[in-house]
Structure 1
Amino acid sequence: MNEKRESIEKTLKLGKHRSKVPLWAKLLGGGVVVAFAVWFFALRPDTTSAVNYVSEKVTRGDLSVTVSATGTVEPTNLVEVSSELSGTLASVEVDYNDRVEVGQVLARLDSAKLEALYEVQKAALVAAEARVEQAQTNLHEAFDNFEIARTLDERGVTTHQAFSAAEATLERNQAALQIADADRALAAANLDLYGADLAKAVITAPIKGIILERNADPGQIVASSLSAPVLFTIAEDLASMELQVDVDEADIGRIAVGNKAIFTVDAYDDETFPAEITKVRFTPEEAEGVVTYKAILIIDNSDLRLRPGMTATADIVVAELRDVLRVPNAALRFEPPQVAAASDGENSGSGLLGLIMPDPPDRNEESEDKSAKTVWVLRDGVAEEIEIVAGQSDGDQTAVLGGELAAGDVVITDQTEAN
């Protein structure tokens, strides 16, 4: 019995001795297990899905760089007609869209009172002219008497007092003629004044054009003041109009007089119209904290399809690049998801993956050359990242100024996964 117990105890001691494993062996085994798990779940190639790249070819050709701006179509010369006199409109002789000539009657004020005042002043002028004639007659008579008195005085026939009286009468008649002549000039001026008011009672067109607005009706009372109401709005020539657009302050330095442009209006969605910049105003315009500058573009509207007030969107050509290498803008924005995830500052260098794998280079560091960009090119079915020097863009494509890129190269613009 004792021998059997001793045998069992020896077996247990032998098992304990064999179960003692070194610490380094345990750590090595754990590391192998962890590395296998990382490879299996994170780095193992995905055999269940394939990547499909969306790509485009790099081409050579022309590139038009444009600046977009919005504005309205306006007549080149717009005149607002008011009344210089207060009164009641007796008649209105034009309507909307009527074509008018210079001096054509637009409306008439009730001029009965003005006509009466004009006639009164005309009579006053006639009376003043009669007084001038009377003064001239009296002056001639006084001059004759003065000559007689002087002759008699020289001969000593009459007294010197009689000669002095004749001389004084002559001078009084000269003064009376001057007064009568001034009264006549005043009466003539007053007549001209009333005549001008009477003429202003007839409101006429100052320019040749088309009536755009009519704010006048017969019987309407017009009150002339510092801000007289606008009765008519006339556009001088709708065949030649202008487009007034607001250019953002960030783009104002890129445009200049002579730049060509095309624009669209809502009335003709599928059609573009040509225009050209003729003036860029220096005065800034601010709305809700946004600063813009007004640019004026000339428009040929011979067919009268464009109308005043139409909202337009213009693309102003600021640069024309000929025979340049062009790459789609989508290719400049493309970045493989794996690279994008690795460049995420919140995920890189953290967790177990960050302990066993080195951090990728920081792709978010700003390049010294802001024109330096990268694109991904498919070569023999493999995506390869290359650096290029980007130039100006038309919104869809960008000119390539340098880099290992050639016409015909296939650049990646997007990617999808297919199971």
Structure 2
Amino acid sequence: MDSKDDVAKTLALGGSKHVFRKWLFLLGGLFFFVIVAAYTMGAFGRSSGPIYVTETAAIADFDVIVTGTGTVEPTNLVEISSELSGTLAEVHVDYNDRVSVGTVLASLDTTKLEAQLAVSKASLDAAIARVSMAEASLHEAREIYQTTLDLEERGVTPHLVFIEREARFLRSQAEVQSAIADRALAEANLDLQQAELAKACICSPVDGVVLNRAVDPGQIVASALSAPVLFTVAEDLSQMELRLDIDEADIGQIEVGQSALFTVDAYDDRTFPATIVQMRFAPETVDGIVTYKGILEIDNSDLLLRPGMTATADITVKEIRNALVVPNAALRYAPPVLIKEDAASKERSGLLGILIPDGPGAGLSRADSGTVWVLGSDGPREVAVETGASDGRVTEVLSGDIAADVALITEQIDE
């Protein structure tokens, strides 16, 4: 019984070893096939040449454009405040109302100011009366003095009487001067009160449109520390300006008089013309980015544009006509540069050499913006060129051994 069990175990063990050897043989064959296929494909890929993507040089026109963003603003925006403190009795205008010079926008309660004006008028009347009284006294004193002087010369009047009447005459002259000065002071006070009363009327200094109204009747205006803005009036919405932020890298190309086209989000399918009328020297720095403000004149006679709209403008800084141009991709292209294998790479063999056939540094390139690669019948050829202006897609060629319709390599695809 035991011998039969031993025989069965021996047969089972032999069968397992046979299956194991079979699987080991299959795996080894599969691994060899993969190695051979990889080597064959690599060798095939290395033997075939690269595929070149080309574009042709051409004679073309293009414009050099500088882009900036900014906002549409009225040419003259006036913020109207009140010089006086007080209670607003009336507000006469609202948003979008058209106003002209002198239009009353709002009025302060003038009860106190009118009372002060009445006091000033009364003071002036009293001062005028005192001048008349002083002049009458002067006239009397002058007549008495002249009579006394005649008597003094004849020796009839005592000398002390003459001195007293002469002093009275001089005092009368001084009283007249004092009364005249008091009258001038009263007139000045009256003018002051009239000016204060006039300031109670908050009026428009320009012809325009009310953009903002920040007050209501009954509101108290306190202008002791800073005058609050009560109304904002745009002088003329048919003539507006675009305040554009231009990057410092582009500022050297911008000049007054250049034309531009801009768009706003409200009208995506429409462009608006503008002209640069001012370039400000003061820099503006936001988050480390330096820009300069350009002012562009806008004709808004159709009133489509509104204050505060965000605009993106393209400024034409140069117009290139009938020039030989090449695609910028051709200036960026350079063939791969293979670094020579060192001693360590030459010693590679076996599986590592098969799976990584190229040396380190394969595929590196050195682009030169002053050269292009021409694809001829004898293969790629490097040509030096002198470049000019560019619009970001093509670049003007000023000199170089190329002509229109020449195929220029822009990309290389290695199989």
Deviations for 1:304-347, whole angstroms, at most 9, x for unmatched residues? 11111111111122222221112222333455xxx44x458999
Deviations for 1:274-301, whole angstroms, at most 9, x for unmatched residues? 1121111111111111111111111111
Q: Distance in 2 between matches of 1:252 and 1:346?
A: 48
CA contact (8 A) 2:86 2:108 kept: yes
How far is 1:51 from its partner? 7.9
SS at match of 1:257: coil
SS at match of 1:157: coil
Q: Distance in 2 between matches of 1:229 and 1:291?
A: 33
Which residue of structure 1 aligns with residue 241 of structure 2? 242
Q: Distance in 2 between matches of 1:350 and 1:270?
A: 61
SS at match of 1:212: strand
Structure 2 matches for 1:255-266, cutoff 5 A? 255-266=254-265
Which residue of structure 1 aligns with residue 30 of structure 2? none
SS at match of 2:42: helix
Q: Does 1:92 align with 2:91?
A: yes
The amino acid that maps onto 2:68 is A
Which residue of structure 1 aligns with residue 388 of structure 2? 391
Change (3 A) 1:299 1:137: same
Change (3 A) 1:397 1:350: farther
Structure 2 matches for 1:1-400, cutoff 5 A? 40-44=40-44, 55-334=54-333, 339-340=335-336, 342=337, 350=345, 363-364=365-366, 371-375=369-373, 377-379=374-376, 386-400=383-397
CA contact (8 A) 2:371 2:382 kept: no
**How many percent of aligned residue pairs carry the same amino acid?**
55
SS at match of 1:231: strand
The amino acid that maps onto 1:317 is T
How far is 1:152 from its partner? 1.2
Q: Distance in 2 between matches of 1:356 and 1:417?
A: 13
Point out where structure 1 has 5 or more consecutive residues left out of the alignment. 1-35
Change (3 A) 1:346 1:145: farther
Change (3 A) 1:350 1:220: farther
How far is 1:379 from its partner? 4.4
Q: Distance in 2 between matches of 1:268 and 1:345?
A: 59
Number of residue pairs matched? 373
TM-score (norm. length: structure 2): 0.80
CA contact (8 A) 2:88 2:221 kept: yes
Q: Distance in 1 between matches of 2:314 and 2:338?
A: 37
How far is 1:56 from its partner? 3.8
Change (3 A) 1:255 1:362: same
How far is 1:62 from its partner? 1.8
1:401 pairs with 398, 402, 412, which one?
A: 398
Q: Distance in 2 between matches of 1:273 and 1:162?
A: 95
Change (3 A) 1:193 1:346: farther
CA contact (8 A) 2:372 2:409 kept: no
Change (3 A) 1:61 1:247: same
Change (3 A) 1:192 1:72: same
Q: Distance in 2 between matches of 1:63 and 1:299?
A: 25
The amino acid that maps onto 2:227 is A
SS at match of 2:229: coil
CA contact (8 A) 1:108 1:203 kept: yes
CA contact (8 A) 2:81 2:227 kept: yes
